[in-house]
A and B are shown apart, each in its own frame.
Chain A
Amino acid sequence: MDRRTTLKWMAAAAAAFPLGQFVPLQAAERAREAKPYGTDPKLIDAFHPGELWPLTFNPAQRRLATALCDTIIPVDETSPSASAVGVVDFIDEWISAPYPTQTVDRKLVLEGFVWLDAEASRRFSKSFTALNAEQVHAICDDICYLPKAGADFVEAAKFFARYRDLTTGGFYTTPQGRKDVQYVGNVPLPRFDGPPLEVLKKVGLA
């Protein structure tokens, strides 16, 4: 997002946002310089968010990140919510990373958070994390699909689309996420038999 876009967002947020009602989240600058892992990292080690570069979220941002993650992937009968399997830590790791894609996302996400809180305040005079489910959906329904987003919500819809990708990207790469979509594999097999009969039948090939 360039400065012009940022200003557009901020103008939208500020329109019905009486100064001083609550302090909006700030798009944080990096505390320390993040270093890339380089072209020869140890591939067989396990890595955890925060080990390779410092993380970003302050407590307020973390609360908002959690609320939004779990709005996108809530707990259901099949699997836990996104935040329950570490997706907030993953998104923090992502937006703190020293690579071009992630640097773009950092700005998008942190500014998106500011917008969300401002929008929550505008509509309901509360911060986003204080909204009830109905109120959350009222906002998210307006920004969840870019092709149908109203003119005022285009930037917010871009943010939401990216944040949804980060959330699904984080969630479905965990053991719980893999189980949820019923991925079966990553185990050695003595032979490869191809699809079972019930699969062939369902596709009309048996």
Chain B
Amino acid sequence: MSFIDAETAGKGEYDVIVVGSGAGGGQMAYTLAMNGARVLMLEAGRKYDPMTETAMFQTPEMAPLRGVDTPDKPFGFYDATIDGGWQVPGEPYVSASDKDGERFEWWRARMLGGRTNHWGRASLRNGPYDFKPHSRDGLGFDWPIGYEDMAPYYDKVEMLVGVYGSNEGLENTPDSPEGCLLPPPKPVISDLLIRKHGTKLGLPVVACHRAVMTRPLDWKNVPAKLHPGNTVAQDILARDMRKRSPCFWATPCGNGCSIRANYQSTTVHLPPALDTGKLDIVTDAMVAEVPLGKNGRVGGVRFVDKRSGRSREARARVVVLAASACETVRILLNSKSVRFPQGLANSSGKVGKYLMDTVGSGVAGQIPLLESLPPHNADGATWGHMYMPWWEYKAQKAGKLSFARGYHVEFYDNRRMPDFYTNAGLEWLSGGSYGRKLKEDARRYFGSMVYFAGRGEMIPNENSYCEIDPQVKDKWGIPVLRFHWKWSEHETRQAAHMQKTFADLIAAMGGRTQKPPETDGAKAIEPGGKIIHEVGGAMMGDDPQRSVVDKWCRAWDVENLFLADGSVFPSNADKNPTLTIMANAWRVADRILDQMQRKEL
């Protein structure tokens, strides 16, 4: 079993169809296949091989336009994303409003492994508060599970993919058990300066958690911990873990990693899953709908084979959607039947509702102390050796802040390989120098810029949702999404707070900013979708009237339909969602395996 074509897939017999090959789909297929289930994975994008396609040591002058971002490659030429971006040719979406602050921009990566190929690798656990936000402050929704339900799966995912970090014992910022985390990399010079001054301001500056291997994985012990009693899986995983190299401290993570030092579904989940012989993958397979059978169950999916343009079907006992939050919602809403005229599994009317992204806002500063430093290699693991977890839980609980939820802070400096932008717009520092003076200025300022980015929690609201547009279809004839978006003051005030925090910190470091911090949160906040942490739209919950799936992410309405991506999130903690998507997918996969064993599926 391996990569097969669409026609062959239609003839196969499978236990589970997994739609999507990213963090959720990759983890789901891995766990199922490692435990003997026959899995068919459908991916809407093309096959992608990070071993041969990744730009590793390529430098900007080898790329068109020095590698800058273009509409074809929105994160730059060498970014791992192919056939992706906030716009995908032939696959439009609609915004219900064109007003500032009311648009949602939808990032997609149509490729095997999806956006896991390019992501930032920040891998933060949700804390106990993050599963029960409504209980804590009366806003949003609680998850039907708690931290204790997810914790064992965070442990497993960390051990499987390789996550560096440290245990700090901080509030709502969980420690990992011994043996889960890899040691964090040494801080870079700006990290140390930020820590010195941040600490004085009461900001916790600690090792970040990122899915980058800082040393070889423990292939002798981890496989038995992850797959107890399953020697076949243990052998496959041990073999594969030995093929992954730890980080060699060069080349940007966002380009992807051909030595497999960081997590991408294509370098971590799919190789061992394919080695089981239980996983078939069809790429260029765009799932259009999940037809409902007469028995009230689903029997498979209908998809468009992009290579031929033909509509095809594949069958299985169980269907798992992990197409990314909005694409999963789109498939459900497009799967209409007599029983579900508003879309599959949508008797609650909640499919598409409570869409969330992450609150983002940033400030750049120039730090004289970092000017003209002796040259040294600061490439490290690209970024994120350190970060700041949210520090104001107590003040927030006491009602001392004007917004309800927290943010964490990511930061980095520009002592890295110069790109097109490194010395652009220097005139606020240089007074418009050119000639020999400009060359001196460029030397002086190199490495002295620091960038702070806040990543905060958005509370789900009634005004942020998606639905099917009544007119527009994509090039495959599939109706597209229409997005509605609004921030609440909890988000905009949080963004303004970020601005002030970063400006204060830059000032404390003796630095300067080009402009004063933005005090209007509505202007400080990045547009919806821009942080690419969209989750929600098919919430899990305890009440079938108010949620789409149960706590096992099984559709309340359809007993053999499961969701395994960010769509099921009832809240979107400041913690980047990928680790939680993976942990949850593993949890759901275990449930599916259990139910299949008990012949309940």
Q: Which residues of A contact B251 (CB under 8 A)?
A: 186
Tell me which residues from 171 to 206 in chain B have a Cβ below 8 Å from any Cβ of chain A: 185-189, 192-193, 196
- A52 nearest in chain B by CB position: B64
Structural contact, A189 and B436, CB atoms closer than 8 A: no
A152 at the B interface (CB under 8 A): no
B402 at the A interface (CB under 8 A): no
Structural contact, A192 and B186, CB atoms closer than 8 A: yes
- A189 nearest in chain B by CB position: B249
Structural contact, A185 and B434, CB atoms closer than 8 A: no
Structural contact, A200 and B248, CB atoms closer than 8 A: no
What is the distance, in angstroms, from A65's C-beta to the closest C-beta of chain B? 15
Q: Which residues of A contact B170 (CB under 8 A)?
A: none
Identify A189's interface contact among B58, B65, B377, B438, CB under 8 A: B377
B416 at the A interface (CB under 8 A): yes
A175 to B62, CA, bound (A): 11
* Known contacts A39-B85, A144-B434, A185-B377; A200 and B72 CB within 8 A of each other: no
What is the predominant secondary structure among interface residues of chain A facing chain B? loop
Structural contact, A200 and B249, CB atoms closer than 8 A: no
B331 at the A interface (CB under 8 A): no
Structural contact, A202 and B64, CB atoms closer than 8 A: no
B439 at the A interface (CB under 8 A): yes
Structural contact, B55 and A195, CB atoms closer than 8 A: no
Structural contact, B369 and A203, CB atoms closer than 8 A: yes
Q: Which residues of B contact A41 (CB under 8 A)?
A: 64, 72-73, 77
What is the distance, in angstroms, from B269's C-beta to the closest C-beta of chain A? 22
* Known contacts A39-B84, A76-B436, A144-B434; A173 and B66 CB within 8 A of each other: yes
A102 to B64, CA, bound (A): 12
A14 at the B interface (CB under 8 A): no
A112 at the B interface (CB under 8 A): no
Task: Name the segment of B316-324, B418-426, B459-467 touching the other chain.
Answer: B418-426
Q: Which residues of A contact B70 (CB under 8 A)?
A: 36-37, 97, 99, 101
Structural contact, A173 and B418, CB atoms closer than 8 A: yes
Q: Which range contains the number of B residues in contact with the other chain? A: 35 or more
Structural contact, B64 and A78, CB atoms closer than 8 A: no
Structural contact, A200 and B189, CB atoms closer than 8 A: yes
B525 at the A interface (CB under 8 A): no
A3 to B418, CA, bound (A): 36
Tell me which residues from 159 to 206 in chain A have a Cβ below 8 Å from any Cβ of chain B: 161, 164-165, 168-170, 172-175, 177-178, 180-196, 198-200, 202-205
Tell me which residues from 38 to 61 in chain B have a Cβ below 8 Å from any Cβ of chain A: 46, 52-55, 57-61
What is the distance, in angstroms, from A151's C-beta to the closest C-beta of chain B? 17
Structural contact, B61 and A187, CB atoms closer than 8 A: no
A172 to B376, CA, bound (A): 17
Structural contact, B66 and A90, CB atoms closer than 8 A: yes
Task: Name the segment of B1-9, B19-27, B130-138, B378-386 touching the other chain.
Answer: B378-386
Count contacts between A and B, CB distance < 8 Å: 210
What is the predominant secondary structure among interface residues of chain B facing chain A? loop
B433 at the A interface (CB under 8 A): yes
Identify B89's interface contact among A39, A79, A94, A204, CB under 8 A: A39
A99 to B65, CA, bound (A): 11
Interface size of A by CB at 8 A reads 70
A39 to B53, CA, bound (A): 14
Q: Which residues of B contact A27 (CB under 8 A)?
A: none
Identify A43's interface contact among B46, B78, B421, CB under 8 A: B78
- A42 nearest in chain B by CB position: B53
* Known contacts A38-B72, A168-B424, A168-B426; A181 and B418 CB within 8 A of each other: yes
What is the distance, in angstroms, from A14's C-beta to the closest C-beta of chain B? 26
B435 at the A interface (CB under 8 A): yes
Structural contact, A170 and B66, CB atoms closer than 8 A: yes
Task: Name the segment of A4-12, A17-25, A66-74, A113-121 touching the other chain.
Answer: A66-74
Identify A186's interface contact among B57, B420, B439, B442, CB under 8 A: B57
Identify B417's interface contact among A101, A144, A186, A192, CB under 8 A: A186
Q: Which residues of A contact B55 (CB under 8 A)?
A: 43-44
A95 to B308, CA, bound (A): 38
- A168 nearest in chain B by CB position: B423
Structural contact, A144 and B432, CB atoms closer than 8 A: yes
A202 to B214, CA, bound (A): 28
A84 at the B interface (CB under 8 A): no
Give a binary string over A35-56; 1 marks a CB under 8 Å from any B CB, 0 the rest.
0111111011011000010000
B63 at the A interface (CB under 8 A): yes
What is the distance, in angstroms, from B94's C-beta to the closest C-beta of chain A? 21
- B58 nearest in chain A by CB position: A44
* Known contacts A182-B443, A203-B189; A100 and B71 CB within 8 A of each other: yes
* Known contacts A39-B85, A169-B421, A203-B189; A73 and B66 CB within 8 A of each other: no
Given contacts A39-B73, A170-B420, A190-B248, 5 further A-B contacts (CB under 8 A): A72-B435, A181-B422, A195-B378, A199-B189, A203-B189
Which residues in A have some Cβ–Cβ distance to B below 8 Å? 36-41, 43-44, 46-47, 52, 71-74, 76, 78-79, 86, 90, 93-94, 97, 99-102, 137, 140, 144-148, 161, 164-165, 168-170, 172-175, 177-178, 180-196, 198-200, 202-205
Listed by A's residue number, 18 A-B pairs whose Cβ atoms lie within 8 Å are: A36-B72, A37-B64, A39-B73, A40-B83, A44-B54, A44-B55, A99-B72, A100-B71, A148-B432, A165-B423, A168-B442, A173-B61, A183-B417, A185-B417, A192-B381, A194-B187, A195-B376, A204-B369
Closest 5 CB pairs of A and B: A145-B432, A194-B186, A188-B248, A182-B375, A173-B60
